[in-house]
Amino acid sequence: MSDSHSDGGKPYAYANDYLIVRKGRKETRVKAWNPPVAEQRSELSPVWESCTPDFVLVPPRARQKRQKAKDIEQQTFFFFNDPAYSQTGRSAEKAEKTSELRLRALDALRGSMPENVVNLLSPFRIGQWQLLVLLYHDQGAIELAESNPMLAFLLAMHLDGDVERIRQEQFCQRRRRDILAEMGMPATMAAVRIVNKLMPKALSNDNWRRCVEVLRTELRKEKTLLTHVPQINYGVLEIVADPIAEAAAGATLLEEVSADHRELSRSRVVHMIKSAIDMQEQLDDEEERPVTRFQTMKRLHTVHSKATAKYRRRVRQLSAAQMAASVGPFIDAPFPGIPGQIEPIDSPEALVAEGELQNNCVSSYAKKIANGELYIYRILTPERATLSIVKKKNGWEIGELEIKNNSPAGRQTEVFVKRWLRDQQK
């Protein structure tokens, strides 16, 4: 490809009002304002063609300050198993230079936009391009985004950068409830208020469609628990979307989940609720009534820990052969592991051993594994952990990722597992 910018072919640059990103054989250029333009070309197709950038254009300021160290860490960590990206001094130095170029180019792009537009884009981790196009081409979009950021974002994703339609329809100048109706949601002010509670950082490339689907379903109900929570994250949405978990969750518990940063874009608590109920049902303890309603997270942890301890004692009484006979053979792992890093647990005997070693309740999932509802992997690096992936309509997603004693895994481990699962489903 001929170089149309005087930037020396760097992986990240800013020149002539354009952010330039080069990755492999592809080159993307983005102009943020007056008007927004995004185009891409490759060695096989050297003509510039319109595209939708799949990267964050405006990182939050606090995040941008940490990004240099984070970029170096991730670039060396993600590819530690690839000889081309081995953790040598040379590759670390290259990662540091790339990080500096990236931050400098993004900062220049940020400076090319009005400050109020920057402030409206920065809370979102995805869909910034679609929102930027809406803000520029719809005269009422900035006012809408300032009063109800999530409604503006969902409309932007719904329109998906269709400039002609945005200019023609000018949706943002309509009543808020009419905008909801355009997206197939109830045209009520109560629905508008609930949509505004959804936290921008709760949305990721992996879950935003699921969030919209759950939100649409909840808004159609005569009564929804979403009315009573101060803010909505992914953990809250997954609880109200599951009939068992919804019936078991008290109002205080939902508020606690909504304030838990670990539930922002994942849904760990819903699995804990269902696991606590499922273990109690399987134990069928005649001396103690099962707890099916959890008013607080403290109560849920207490019941879950107690049920886990009882279940482990019960499991220890069973031989591996009896366990295998009771659940039948496990299905084949949906995705291959990485030897020495992430490995599928492919037998009831191995499942029991994992639960004993990690002091958790994975052995209670034997029937679900045999039925193909979920699968368990042992994580060996960067720390020892247990992973469950759950089968959903649109693929597999992380259910639980915990180290010993049901404690949350670290950020490095979560980044590694998310990358692996995403790569498996491409």
Same domain, 184 and 219: no
Rounded Cα distance between 70 and 86, Å, is 17
Average pLDDT in the 211-230 region?
94
Instruction: Report pLDDT for 93.
Output: 67
Query: Is 168 within a domain?
Result: yes
DSSP track, 373-400: SEEEEEE-SSS-EEEEEEEETTEEEEEE
Domain stops at, among 195, 228, 245: 195
Query: Is 384 within a domain?
Result: yes
Q: What is the mean pLDDT of the chain?
A: 88
Same domain, 310 and 420: no
Instruction: Report pLDDT for 327.
Output: 64
Give the global pTM: 0.74
Six-digit token string for 58: 């405006």
Query: Is 16 within a domain?
Result: no
Same domain, 329 and 425: yes
Q: What is the pLDDT of residues 138-147, one digit of tens each?
A: 999 999 999 9
Structurally, the chain folds into a number of domains equal to 3
Instruction: Report pLDDT for 147.
Output: 96
Query: Is 243 within a domain?
Result: yes
| Percentage of the residues of the chain whose pLDDT score is greater than 90 | 69
* Whether the Cβ atoms of residue 295 and residue 266 lie closer than 8 Å to each other: no
Q: What is the pLDDT of residues 326-370, one digit of tens each?
A: 666 788 999 999 999 999 998 887 888 888 888 888 888 888 888
Same domain, 368 and 302: no
Same domain, 355 and 423: yes
Instruction: Report pLDDT for 6.
Output: 53
Same domain, 203 and 310: yes
Same domain, 246 and 349: no
Domain stops at, among 317, 337, 362: 317
Domain stops at, among 162, 195, 228: 195
Same domain, 217 and 310: yes
Query: Is 110 within a domain?
Result: no
Q: Encode 45-86 in three state secondary structure.
A: CCCCEECCCCCCCCCCHHHHHHHHHHHHHHHHHHCCCCHHHC
Instruction: Report pLDDT for 321.
Output: 36
Same domain, 257 and 327: no
Indicate the burial class of 225 (C-beta count within 10 angstroms; 0-12, 13-18, 19 or more).
middle
Instruction: Report pLDDT for 135.
Output: 98
The residue segments making up the domain with residue 368 are 322-426
Instruction: Report pLDDT for 1.
Output: 52
Print burial letters for 366-381: b (CB count within 10 Å at least 16), e (below 16): bebbbeeebbbbbbeb
Q: What is the pLDDT of residues 409-421, one digit of tens each?
A: 999 999 999 999 9
Greater confidence (324 vs 385) lies with 385
Q: What is the pLDDT of residues 38-74, one digit of tens each?
A: 999 998 888 999 999 988 999 886 545 545 445 545 5
Q: What is the pLDDT of residues 25-36, one digit of tens each?
A: 899 999 999 999
Instruction: Report pLDDT for 351.
Output: 86
Q: What is the pLDDT of residues 276-316, one digit of tens each?
A: 999 999 887 766 789 999 999 999 999 999 999 888 877 76
Query: Is 327 within a domain?
Result: yes
Instruction: Report pLDDT for 90.
Output: 54
Instruction: Report pLDDT for 115.
Output: 96
Rounded Cα distance between 387 and 418, Å, is 11
Q: Answer whether residue 167 shows pLDDT above 90.
A: yes
- Residue 68 gets the label, from left (phi > 0), alpha (psi -120 to 50) or beta, of alpha
Query: Is 396 within a domain?
Result: yes
Same domain, 222 and 287: yes
- In 227-296, DSSP assigns E strands to none
Same domain, 180 and 269: no
Rounded Cα distance between 17 and 126, Å, is 22
Query: Is 413 within a domain?
Result: yes
Instruction: Report pLDDT for 72.
Output: 46
Average pLDDT in the 177-186 region?
96
Q: What is the pLDDT of residues 69-128, one digit of tens each?
A: 455 455 444 444 444 444 445 566 667 788 888 999 999 999 999 999 999 999 999 999
Interhelix angle 234-241/208-219, rounded to 10 degrees, is 50
Same domain, 204 and 309: yes
